[in-house]
Amino acid sequence: MSLVSEGADFRGPLTASGFAEPSLATVGDYIALMKPRVMSLVVFTALVGLAVAPGSLHPLTAFTALLCIAVGAGAAGALNMWYDADIDAVMARTSRRPVPMGRVRSGEALAFGLTLAGFAIVTLGLLVNWLAAALLAFTIFFYVVIYTIWLKRSTPQNIVIGGAAGAFPPMIGWAAVTGSLSFEPILLFLIIFFWTPPHFWALALYRADDYARAGVPMLPVVSGDATTRRQILFYTIVLVPLGVAPWMLGYTGALYGATAVATGIIMLGLGWQVLRERRPAERASRNLFAFSILYLFLLFAVLLVERGWGGLIVRLAT
Amino acid sequence: MGRADSPFGNVNIGAAMNDQSDDDGIVLTEAQKRARRSRSLAIAFALAALVILFYVMTLVKGPGVLIRPI
């Protein structure tokens, strides 16, 4: 559905004789391909999954698991930039990425992503366990093939379904420790899954023109402003009880419960403000986008402190 | 083997290759050399880190390092 993909060529410049011009890509360009900011969020949520899981893991094995998850996330980011170079080039937020800027060729980004993915999955399987490796492989597949290649350009539900890819890391962390899955990591998955639509649609509300220019069918572009605002509030109403659920089910203590309730009320308030706001005003959307990051960070940070921090310290000491 | 017997017909392969390397060879600029060197160092560092990681993890896990639950 992209309006700009045809004819876009990111294979890089050629010399007069038809050979590929030698690359000027630096190590920094390849690090940028790995989307380090996204990677840091993935590592953080995976760390929480790893820390709250029952059982013990040698600190070096835990480090290896997190390293493989980080590299796997970087691989997914590089493969996303390989495929999306055409739409990245026309969006203000992404136009300075290495492939649209011509610093890294499309084929180089593809090879880099596939190599990293292979190493991350095999290393996680060999050194930690194969369930965690299989989940990492599925996450990369889901993000690149299901989200980037299929859904992103074809449906306004792209980030709803595609959000699953960002929700898997706590499950991978949990699986790295236990070699199995249970309801608790699935609950963490659900929190991130239902957090994704309000977070990205709040951004899409004030970046709608950018997405429209790139031909990406984000909800505000396809269904309009009012529908998007209703959907944001709907997903926030589903999200907040899910955020409180770990406390209600007895997995966490009062600190987590108080944090989840207080930040949940703020999320609902911001969601309500977004519903009442109308373009060109975008203050409420920006506020919700910014606070949603803090909301998820606080929930997982308190979970880490309450459930995992002690466990990690004990594990390091033994 | 005469030129007519060559699988490449009348093309003088040796001369063609020499022409190509003389006329079309790519000479790297200083910036391209610096970029290539930094990439090579990063690859070397990553591979060395991987070797060290597998070595240390083998010490940590002992003889059962390759016995992994599925």
ipTM: 0.78
Residue of chain B whose alpha carbon sits nearest to that of A23? B32
Residue B7 pLDDT: 45
Q: How many contacts, defined by CB atoms under 8 Å, are there between A and B?
A: 63
Report the predicted TM-score, pTM, of the whole model to 2 decimal places.
0.84
Residue A229 pLDDT: 95
A166-186 mean pLDDT: 94
- Residues β-bridged to residue A20: A14
Distance from CA of B32 to the nearest CA of A (A): 5
Cβ within 8 Å, pair B32-A19: no
DSSP state of B29: P
End-to-end CA distance of chain A: give it in Å, rounded.
55
Closest in B39, B42, B68 to A130, CB measured: B68
In chain B, which residues have their Cβ closer than 8 Å to the Cβ of A125?
Answer: 68
Residue B26 pLDDT: 78
Please say whether the beta carbons of A239 and A195 come within 8 A.
yes
In chain B, which residues have their Cβ closer than 8 Å to the Cβ of A127?
Answer: 53-54, 57, 61, 65
Distance from C-alpha of A259 to C-alpha of A60, rounded to nearest angstrom: 31
Distance from C-alpha of A210 to C-alpha of A239, rounded to nearest angstrom: 27
Average pLDDT, chain A: 89
Cβ within 8 Å, pair B39-A17: no
Distance from C-alpha of B43 to C-alpha of B4, rounded to nearest angstrom: 47
Residue B69 pLDDT: 56
Cβ within 8 Å, pair B32-A24: yes
The predicted-structure confidence for A80-127, as pLDDT tens digits, reads as follows 999 999 999 998 889 999 999 989 999 999 999 999 999 999 999 999
Cβ within 8 Å, pair A123-B50: yes
The predicted-structure confidence for B4-56, as pLDDT tens digits, reads as follows 444 444 445 444 445 444 556 778 888 889 999 999 999 999 999 999 999 99
The answer to whether A126 contacts chain B (CB < 8 Å) is: yes
Cβ within 8 Å, pair A25-B56: no
| Pick from A5-19, A94-108, A270-284, B4-18: least confident | B4-18
> CB-based contacts of A45: which residues, under 8 Å, 6+ apart?
A169, A170, A173, A188, A192, A300
Residue of chain B whose alpha carbon sits nearest to that of A133? B70
